């Protein structure tokens, strides 16, 4: 594949800046927990029940247990300290104790407290069993991949994966559309999450059949879709990947459920939640770190959300914001124990299609991303900002997007839809998009190996400019700190405050005797 002529010293300098930017964030992470991390700890050890409330709605036991401890101002020691002590004192199984506590039959704070050493020993035992289960699930997924045939290559040498969305709001209708997409040639299915679910501070329970703009992310919905895609993988002799969204106020819990239910990809990016959902910076960065520790053990590929920046900021003027965020995201992921081959950095083809030589500039940015992050599975997002009701023009834009993707060796290609600006895609829309991509991916599969870029041509010069602008932006962020830089619109032309946003009240400073064995066990 052709490579650009980029300044490797400048790339190394960008990574060094990103590491220094991440330093204060690491201290914040080490000193704090959140209510969502504590709920994730309960879910990992097996608390998955829910209490039925009015109108046949269910509220998770994990939320009730954690909320009660927070109200009593004792969550600083960690939910597992109190819950495991309850297991010891009442000699009850996890699910039995959780149900009793959630229904006010047992008050964890009124039980005799065992010694710290006794509780710690039991907590380690329980958490080690949970980690063992995560490894077993991971191995089960690997066996299925081997049996059905899996050609996924993080570096994109096999051509882009065809990645499509389903978003009916009804998980069973989603299954029908996902099966049809797989049969038409899709390699990965993303179940779009219901609008604004990221702002719910709990995870809905059970299979759901209503949702606006997408389907609720629940453990049962994960199970339903995973089962259907396993069946299609066996039938097609081709492994079909499953994706969902791991962002928002329940980020660590979604990571836990995704790991337990054998998801392959998770959209996982704190910056997206900060900028586009106004979730508090501290809350979401702390949550992201713990979620990525789970994801690292599960060997799930994450997708970051830099592509969204170009929906609110001009893509020609602000492409360097995407690259700067990618460097920061890479550093934060590595700090959480992730390796490069699971870091699916996101970017998008969102420049004004009427700009002169726009495809040279898009190729420059796409190739630059591929060259700077050679071991990572790059996720390329389709044009949306300039889509309109002209479905024929939209289809042409998607074709050129597919051409840029295969030419530059992108790993994961989210296909655009001809009706992008009109409605949730129908079966025939998805079929058209897959046919479009298969034609171009097959016809231009080896083109990137046949060409080279002029050293001082438009493509190389544009990539160098973006890299230089990125280094300058990272230097500014390093000087001001990430939180202040976000306040001053460093990304996506959006300002957020360190003390603003949703979820700050769920951030808790750890006690000296804080107990959460997962913090260490997930690194092993």
Q: How far is the C-alpha of 18 from the C-alpha of 246, rounded, in Å?
A: 23
Distance of CA 228 to the CA centre of its chain: 22
Which of 363, 360, 326 lies closest to 470, judged by CA?
326
Which of 222, 256, 220, 263 lies closest to 240, judged by CA?
263
Active-site annotation holds for 278: no
Residues constituting the chain: 524
Active-site annotation holds for 309: no
Given a contact cutoff of 8 angstroms between Cβ atoms, the answer to whether 42 and 202 are in contact is no
Q: How far is the C-alpha of 381 from the C-alpha of 307, rounded, in Å?
A: 7
Those residues whose C-beta lies under 8 Å from the C-beta of residue 397, and which sit 6 or more positions away, are: 353, 382, 383, 386, 387, 416
Beta bridge partners of 423: none
The single residue of 174, 187, 269, 307 carrying the catalytic annotation is 307
What would you measure as the largest C-alpha separation in the chain, in angstroms?
74
| Total Cβ atoms within 10 A of residue 112 | 7
| Total Cβ atoms within 10 A of residue 512 | 6
| Total Cβ atoms within 10 A of residue 355 | 12
For 25, 263, 311, the CA distances from 142, given in Å and listed in that order, are 34, 11, 36
The single residue of 379, 387, 398, 502 carrying the catalytic annotation is 379
For 62, 411, 498, the CA distances from 36, given in Å and listed in that order, are 9, 32, 19
DSSP single-letter state for residue 109: G
Which of 512, 456, 522, 470 lies closest to 31, judged by CA?
512
The single residue of 245, 272, 309, 514 carrying the catalytic annotation is 272
What residue has token string 């769920």?
Answer: 506
Active-site annotation holds for 272: yes
Q: How far is the C-alpha of 289 from the C-alpha of 291, rounded, in Å?
A: 5
The residues assigned a catalytic role are 272, 307, 379
């Amino acid at each position: 594949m052709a490579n650009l002529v980029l300044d490797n010293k400048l790339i190394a300098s960008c990574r060094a800046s990103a590491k220094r930017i991440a330093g204060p964030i690491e201290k914040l992470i080490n000193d704090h927990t959140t209510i969502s991390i504590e709920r994730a700890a309960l879910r990992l050890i097996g608390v998955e029940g829910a209490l039925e409330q009015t109108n046949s709605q269910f509220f998770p036991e994990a939320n009730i247990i954690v909320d009660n401890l927070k109200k009593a101002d004792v969550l600083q020691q960690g939910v597992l300290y109190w819950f495991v002590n309850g297991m010891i004192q009442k000699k009850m199984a996890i699910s039995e104790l959780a149900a009793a506590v959630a229904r006010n039959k047992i008050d964890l704070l009124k039980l005799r407290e065992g010694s710290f050493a006794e509780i710690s020993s039991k907590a380690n035992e329980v958490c080690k069993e949970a980690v063992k289960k995560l490894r077993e699930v991971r191995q089960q997924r690997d066996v299925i991949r081997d049996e059905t045939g899996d050609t996924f290559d993080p570096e994109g040498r096999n051509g882009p994966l065809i990645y499509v969305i389903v978003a009916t709001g009804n998980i069973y209708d989603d299954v029908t559309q996902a099966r049809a997409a797989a049969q038409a040639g899709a390699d990965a299915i993303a179940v779009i999450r219901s609008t604004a679910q990221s702002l719910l501070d709990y995870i809905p329970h059970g299979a759901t059949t209503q949702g606006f703009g997408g389907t609720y992310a629940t453990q049962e919905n994960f199970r339903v879709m995973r089962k259907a895609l396993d069946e299609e993988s066996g039938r097609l002799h081709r492994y079909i990947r499953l994706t969902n969204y791991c962002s928002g106020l329940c980020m660590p819990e979604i990571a836990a459920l995704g790991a337990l239910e054998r998801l392959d990809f998770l959209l996982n990016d704190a910056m997206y939640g900060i900028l586009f959902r106004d979730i508090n910076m501290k809350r979401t960065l702390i949550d992201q770190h713990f979620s990525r520790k789970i994801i690292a053990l599960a060997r799930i590929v994450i997708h970051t959300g830099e592509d969204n920046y170009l929906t609110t900021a001009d893509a020609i003027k602000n492409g360097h914001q995407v690259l700067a965020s990618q460097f920061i995201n890479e550093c934060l992921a590595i700090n959480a124990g992730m390796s490069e081959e699971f870091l699916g950095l996101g970017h998008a083809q969102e420049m004004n299609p009427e700009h002169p030589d726009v495809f040279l500039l898009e190729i420059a940015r796409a190739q630059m991303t591929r060259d700077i992050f050679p071991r990572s599975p790059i996720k390329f997002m389709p044009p949306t900002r300039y889509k309109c009701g002209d479905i024929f023009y939209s289809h042409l834009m998607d074709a050129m997007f597919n051409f840029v993707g295969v030419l530059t060796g992108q790993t994961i290609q989210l296909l655009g839809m001809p009706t992008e600006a009109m409605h949730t895609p129908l079966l025939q829309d998805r079929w058209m998009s897959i046919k479009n991509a298969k034609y171009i991916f097959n016809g231009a599969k080896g083109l990137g190996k046949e060409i080279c870029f002029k050293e001082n041509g438009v493509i190389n010069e544009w990539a160098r400019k973006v890299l230089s602008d990125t280094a300058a932006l990272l230097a500014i962020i390093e000087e001001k700190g990430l939180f202040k830089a976000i306040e001053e619109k460093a990304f996506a032309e959006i300002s957020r405050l360190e003390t603003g946003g949703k979820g700050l009240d769920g951030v808790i400073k750890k006690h000296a005797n804080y107990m959460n064995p997962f913090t260490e066990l997930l690194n092993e």
